[in-house]
Amino acid sequence: MATSSASAILKASLSTSSAKLPPSTTTAAAVAQKLLSFRPLIKNPLIPQSLKFSAAQRSFSCNSAQITDPSDTRSSKVQELNVYEINERDRGSPAYLRLSQKTVNSLGDLVPFSNKVYTGDMKKRAGITAGICVLIKNEPEKKGDRYEAIYSFYFGDYGHIAVQGPYLTYEDTCLAVTGGSGIFEGAYGKVKLQQIIFPFKLFYTFYLKGIPDLPSELLGEPVPPSPAVEPSPAAKACEPGATLANFTD
């Protein structure tokens, strides 16, 4: 009797559940057709809709579309700051950590580095850079590598500027200014990285917003970038008056 009763309950339950379901009038083909009809509305901005993975050639520029946030009360005044980063081969930099364990530069390899920073006029030692690059892609056809870089520029008592973005060993790039400290607190904007002699000599042009007027000590007329450019002997020797106050060495 228990078995018969349980069977009857089960049949009733199934019958009730079936009664709640609408009749299956849509075929698999019809469902697929409906899904396909939504395809034009779904666009991944990273993937060309034609699936022809090609990009138009363009010259390098640090310019981009400006989007203004009306709630942002920081100064939108753009201040230009130039500095040189020079590897004088006395700091053991850069180090190469081949985490990929491959014989060629490969995704995931790390490059910690720290080089000397001079003001754009090459008359004063400003401090150092300190950061790390993560290798994203080895590009043998361009005889170089693409890295994602995260690093800082230190300016003694003035504070520091933090940046992040692409670092290409074979051409100029533009990185984002992500913040800073001291007089650079609240800074945002961008910085153009110009390769002069990789990885020993680089020239940077910052386009800074959100901060008070920069001190004249940092705004000397920049020396035009060239492979032959060198800091003044006094700045290179860190003589009194040729450094920023309490610069990081």
- Tell me which DSSP letter residue 182 carries: G
Longest pairwise C-alpha distance within the chain: 106
- Walking along the chain (249 residues) 10 residues at a time, the average pLDDT comes out as 47 46 46 40 33 38 62 79 97 96 95 98 98 97 96 98 97 97 98 96 98 97 97 98 97
CB atoms under 10 Å from CB of 200, counted, come to 14
CB atoms under 10 Å from CB of 87, counted, come to 19
- What's the predicted TM-score (pTM) here? 0.73
Question: Residue 23: its pLDDT value, please?
Answer: 46
pLDDT per residue as tens digits for the range 52-103: 333 333 455 676 555 555 666 667 899 999 999 999 999 999 999 999 999 9
User: Do the beta carbons of residue 144 and residue 115 sit within 8 Å?
Assistant: no
Q: How many CA atoms does the CB half-sphere of 106 hold within 13 Å?
A: 7
Question: Residue 53: its pLDDT value, please?
Answer: 30
Question: Residue 62: its pLDDT value, please?
Answer: 76
Euclidean distance between CA atoms 133 and 168, whole angstroms: 10
Spatial CB neighbours of 40, under 8 Å, sequence gap ≥ 6: none
User: Do the beta carbons of residue 222 and residue 131 sit within 8 Å?
Assistant: no
CB atoms under 10 Å from CB of 97, counted, come to 13
CB atoms under 10 Å from CB of 144, counted, come to 17
Euclidean distance between CA atoms 75 and 77, whole angstroms: 5
42: left (phi > 0), else alpha (psi -120 to 50), else beta? beta
User: Do the beta carbons of residue 37 and residue 29 sit within 8 Å?
Assistant: no
